[in-house]
Amino acid sequence: MKVIYDLDVLKPHEPGNDLIARSLKSIEGVKYVAIKIDEIDNVTTSVFITVQGTGDLELDDIKEKLEELNCALHSVDKVYIYDDDWLTDNGP
**Which member of 12, 28, 31, 64 binds a second copy (CB under 8 A)?**
31
Residue 66, φ and ψ in degrees, nearest 5 = -60, -40
Partners of 22 in the β-ladder = none
**Which member of 12, 28, 37, 67 binds a second copy (CB under 8 A)?**
37
CA 29 – CA 55 distance, rounded (Å):
7
**Least distance in angstroms from the C-beta of 33 to a second copy:** 5
CA angle 88/31/69 to nearest 5° reads 125
Binding stretches for a second copy (CB under 8 A): 1-2, 4-5, 16-18, 20-22, 25, 31-37, 40, 50, 52, 59, 75-83, 86, 88, 90-92
